[in-house]
Amino acid sequence: MASTLTLKLTNRSPKQPIKKLPATIDVPADATIEDVKAIVARQSGISDHNRIGIFNPATNKTFKDRRAQVGQDADIVKSKELLIKDLGPQIAWRTVFLLEYLGPILFHVGAVVFRPYLYKDVASHPLSDTQRLVFAMFVAHFVKRELETLFVHKFSASTMPARNIFKNCFFYWAFSGALDPVVDLVGAVIFVLGELANASVHLHLSSLRSRGGTERRIPSGLGFSLVTCPNYLFEILSWVGVIIASRDWSVLVFIAIGAAQMAAWAKGKEKAYRKEFGDKYKKKRYVMLPGLI
């Protein structure tokens, strides 16, 4: 195999071309998709190489594994061509997650802190035990999410288009629920168990990937014998605890919308596992909720 590859570069979007895109580039045969992005960005005068999208000329699909070597891809070696697109300004996925989960924290803490300024008769209407419980559960959930984002999660993709940050944050910032002892206790127990199980699954998934890596392994352990994505199952379970404690329809709307999105992600992961691991992967009938989804 040649030590270098000469690759033709073609604008994937003729209506929005990269004006300074070189006609060809020479890259080492062992160069990764990430390396090629950096080369294309440098020669095209684009400062952030994460803006460069590289697509397979045969399938027109993006190369998701940024550490894949171009010299080992049959379609690239055969066609000696890459489709290139400027994806626009980018934002780091870790930043996206931090911003998403920050909204509910600020909203709920702010509602409590500024309550005396929002209600004239606040002294005669103190927070009930249920409101305090649900407040603590909401904030605890999203603080855990923030800590996981900082210290647990590993991202296969470095960035996403910055314009999507508003769409991603809208759900978390816009849909946050408002704030009988036995029922509260049951809700609290379900919430805590769900959060602990969810965190356990996240830690296991994180252990399957090296820092900065894109490799995939077959997950196992708590919940994986039941569904493809037990982290989603346990997250929904924790929110069931919040619904029980709050008895508020807005919380139900919040998790119903979230569950619909998680179901789509879970179905995609099941499909990806089957495609990548074949017979080594034990196929799951249900991807998120046993007996339902």
Span 197-215, average pLDDT: 90
- pLDDT at 167 (0 to 100): 83
Tell me whether residue 218 is in a domain: yes
Q: By percentage, how much of the chain surpasses pLDDT 90?
A: 61
Q: Do 84 and 122 lie in a common domain?
A: no
- pLDDT at 124 (0 to 100): 67
Span 149-169, average pLDDT: 87
Give the pLDDT band of residue 120 (cuts 50, 70, 90).
Answer: confident
Q: Do 255 and 116 lie in a common domain?
A: yes
- pLDDT at 179 (0 to 100): 40
Give the pLDDT band of residue 233 (cuts 50, 70, 90).
Answer: very high
- pLDDT tens profile 17-35: 999 999 999 999 899 999 9
Quote the domain boundaries for residue 44: 4-88
Q: Do 107 and 49 lie in a common domain?
A: no
- pLDDT at 177 (0 to 100): 38
Span 166-195, average pLDDT: 76
Instruction: Judge whether residue 206 has pLDDT over 60.
Output: yes
Of 153-157, 159-163, 182-186, the range with the lowest mean pLDDT is: 182-186
Tell me whether residue 289 is in a domain: no
Instruction: Judge whether residue 183 has pLDDT over 60.
Output: yes
Of 113-127, 207-221, 235-249, the range with the lowest mean pLDDT is: 113-127
Write phi, then psi, for 218 (nearest 5 degrees): -80, 120
Q: Do 10 and 131 lie in a common domain?
A: no
Tell me whether residue 217 is in a domain: yes
- Of 44, 64, 88, which marks where a domain is finished? 88
Vertex 131, ends 128 and 132: CA angle to 5°? 90
- pLDDT at 2 (0 to 100): 57
Q: Do 18 and 68 lie in a common domain?
A: yes
- pLDDT at 173 (0 to 100): 79
Tell me whether residue 288 is in a domain: no
> What is the spatial distance between Cα 278 and Cα 276, in angstroms, rounded to a whole number?
6
- Of 32, 64, 88, which marks where a domain is finished? 88
Mean pLDDT of the chain: 89
Q: Do 165 and 39 lie in a common domain?
A: no
Exposed/middle/buried for 113, CB within 10 Å: 0-12, 13-18, 19+? exposed
State the SS3 of the chain.
Answer: CCCEEEEEEEECCCCCCCCCCCCEEEEECCCEHHHHHHHHHHHHCCCCHHHEEEECCCCCCECCCCCCEHHHCHHHHHHCEEEEEECCCEEEHHHHHHHHHHHHHHHHHHHHHCHHHHCCCHHHCCCCHHHHHHHHHHHHHHHHHHHHHHHCCCCCCCEEEHHHHHHHHHHHHHCCCCCCHHHHHHHHHHHHHHHHHHHHHHHHHHHCCCCCCCCCCCCCCCCCCCCCCHHHHHHHHHHHHHHHHHCCHHHHHHHHHHHHHHHHHHHHHHHHHHHHHHHHCCCCCCCCCCCCC
Give the pLDDT band of residue 164 (cuts 50, 70, 90).
Answer: confident
Higher per-residue confidence, 147 vs 123: 147
User: How many domains would you assign to the chain?
Assistant: 2
Q: Do 73 and 184 lie in a common domain?
A: no
Q: Do 69 and 96 lie in a common domain?
A: no
Tell me whether residue 285 is in a domain: no
CATH number at residue 36: 3.10.20.90
Closest CA relative to residue 172, chosen from 254, 261, 94, 112: 254
Tell me whether residue 291 is in a domain: no
Closest CA relative to residue 244, chosen from 175, 172, 185, 290: 185
Span 255-270, average pLDDT: 94
Span 75-87, average pLDDT: 94
Instruction: Judge whether residue 71 has pLDDT over 60.
Output: yes
- Of 88, 121, 137, which marks where a domain is finished? 88
